[in-house]
Amino acid sequence: MALEAFFKKPKNELEKGGRLPKIKPETAQYELCEKCPDCGSEIPLSALWENMHQCRCGHCFRMNARERIRLLADKDTFTELYGDMQSADILNFPGYKNKLESTRTSARELEAVICGEARIGGYPCALFVMDPYFMMGSMGTVVGEKITLLFEYAIDRRLPVLGCTVSGGARMQEGILSLMQMAKTSGAVKKHSDAGLLYIALLTDPTTGGVTASFAMQGDIILAEPGATIGFAGQRLVEQTTRKKLPAGFQKAETVLEHGFLDMIVPRPEQKRVITALLALHRPEGENHEVGV
Amino acid sequence: MKSAYDYVKTARSNDRQTGLDYITHIFKGFIELHGDRRFADDPSVVGGLAWLDDTPFTVIAIERGRDTKSRIKRNFGMAHPEGYRKALRLMRQAEKFNRPVVCFVDTCGAYPGVGAEERGQGQAIAENIMEMTALRVPILSILVGEGGSGGALALAVANEVWMLENATYSVIAPESCANILWRDPEKAPEAAESLRLTAQDNYELGVVERIISEKGGDAQRLFASLAADILSWYMKMKAYTPEELAEMRYRRFRQLGVPKAP
């Protein structure tokens, strides 16, 4: 967009981005809608699916890991790795076994992260994508192990890593061993980094706790989705501890960017283009991949 | 029998020695160094140089304070990002001058405050953890009181981790865990039991190498025995090259929580 366009008032509806399609009541009653927490409009689910789970106003709805892989990876290039690993109730933690079983059924995934290799814009990379629908992307031993294995895989093959994070933090049902995954994954990120390889992190809503305090904040380049909550401590805990109302925009990606902890905020439709451009800038010398987005 | 929650209460007790006590009683000639060279000096994290026998050490401790006044000054041992950045600065300095590092950990967690978040609490912890995995000098971390989550781990990515017999080390405070799971902080004792946070639990899970006897509460005997233990640990570590030390540390954490093949 030209710079002067920022200062011009929109002349008509189309310049503003167009009106939301009016849905006739007789069709609407058959379709479930989701309400956008930002602009308040009711969006039919089919429209959400067609538009990368994004509202017209730019609000990003949560997205499961498979959809995100479809959005980012070139068609039919994703090969899953470590897909059969699944958590066990290692500490006999109350309710964990049932929770795992019911989550596996509802999320239709075995774990909260999906790893693999893919091409993005023609460039090969190792990819891990966390899933908000699997215990809010919490990191237990299997999540830690899969991400560590992926970085080791990437070191062996000299691949860049793209990691999409969404997490409530360490998985308390696996106790101290969950905490240890922060050190385990960080060690692998460090080795990958020391090998001169690129790691791009894409932080999505919410990225908090032990994931923020480890691999989410260790990217060479850290991207975030608009409006994502990014922080270490939970907002309720901060409020309780400080006994003050939180400032506007606290832990929002836009504020975190302002404080210097992110490289950029990238809207969903732009993500593949931006990541491709970054991979191109870091491609190994002498390699010339066919680029096509 | 002492319940897990009894251990939590003991670890938090005001009668216990705090981080600075360990530094000043175990080491000689402590010179405190301040500041993270970025923004501030965080009094929750104390660090500097000291002698043990005839070897210079870099020593770092989370200090929670002994009385009301010092507890407020030390923010009850809840560090801000500046505290972690100061610790990392001192560890890098130790690496430059080839000094071993000893950390004393005693915190209920990193400070959950607005400024701490705005200045990158998560990033500060992440950087410490990542850099510590590859530091080229030996690191020993001793959990002397409460080991609260990421705020404790940020000083505990070490070649060996020891725990005092009444210390705890947990992914989450039992009160918070009970609140999330059962919406009832009163069930903290049940949560403490399930979290496996005592020294014995951590030892059985392979998270710590050694449980240190507190000598029935005789602090002087504890300091003397720790001094001897730290020295013999250092003698053992001296045999390794910088690369081996980093690789051993990486392997130590690499094998924690590797799921069994189905």
pLDDT in tens, B147-176: 999 999 999 999 999 999 999 999 999 999
Distance CA B221, CA B227 (A): 10
Nearest to A152 by CA among A119, A94, A108, A197: A197
Q: Name the helix (H) or strand (E) containing B35.
A: none
Residues of B in contact with A95 (CB under 8 A): 181
Distance CA B157, CA A277 (A): 35
In-domain check, residue B31:
yes
- pLDDT digit string, tens, across residues B182-216: 888 899 999 999 999 999 999 999 999 999 999 99
Contacts for B176 with CB less than 8 Å, ≥ 6 apart? A237, B185
A229, β-bridge pairs: A252
Is A257 an interface residue toward B (CB < 8 Å)? no
Chain A: residue whose CA lies nearest to B122? A213
CA distance, residue A125 to nearest chain B CA (Å): 22
- Given an 8 Å threshold on Cβ–Cβ distance, is A178 in contact with B201? no
pLDDT tier, B7 (very low <50, low <70, confident <90, very high otherwise): very high
In-domain check, residue B253:
no
In-domain check, residue B41:
yes
- Across the interface, of B110, B118, B154, the residue whose CB is closest to A259 is B118
Asked if B12 and B48 touch (Cβ cutoff 8 Å), the reply is no
Asked if B169 and B189 touch (Cβ cutoff 8 Å), the reply is no
The ranges of chain A with pLDDT < 70 are: 1-30, 286-293
Asked if B14 and B8 touch (Cβ cutoff 8 Å), the reply is no
Task: Specify the CATH number for A62-281; select among 3.90.226.10, 3.90.1150.10, 3.40.50.2300, 3.40.50.150.
Answer: 3.90.226.10
Question: Position of tokens 């080229």?
Answer: B136
Which ipTM score applies to this complex? 0.96
Best of A143, A149, A179, A229 to substitute, by most chain B Cβ atoms within 10 angstroms, is A179
Chain A: residue whose CA lies nearest to B171? A176
Residue B138: the pLDDT is 98
- Across the interface, of B123, B149, B259, the residue whose CB is closest to A179 is B149
Residues of B in contact with A174 (CB under 8 A): 171, 257
> Once rounded to an integer, what is the mean pLDDT over residues B228-244?
97
- pLDDT digit string, tens, across residues B92-141: 999 999 999 999 999 999 999 999 999 999 999 999 999 999 999 999 99
**For chain B, what is the domain count?**
1
In-domain check, residue B5:
no
CA distances in angstroms from B120 to A11, A21, A125, A223, B81, listed in the order given: 42, 42, 28, 15, 6
Domains of chain A, by residue range, sit at 31-61, 62-281
- pLDDT digit string, tens, across residues B22-34: 999 999 999 999 9
Residue A293: the pLDDT is 42
User: Which range is least confidently modeled, A13-17, A274-278, B47-51, B73-77?
Assistant: A13-17
Residue B190: the pLDDT is 94
- Mean residue pLDDT across chain B: 96
Residue A7: the pLDDT is 67
Nearest to A187 by CA among B102, B253, B155, B244: B253
DSSP for A97-155?
HHHHHHHHHHH--SSSEEEEEEEETTEEEEEEEE-TTTGGG-B-HHHHHHHHHHHHHHH
Residue A292: the pLDDT is 46
For residue B32, the domain's CATH number is 3.90.226.10
Range(s) of the domain holding residue B157: 15-246
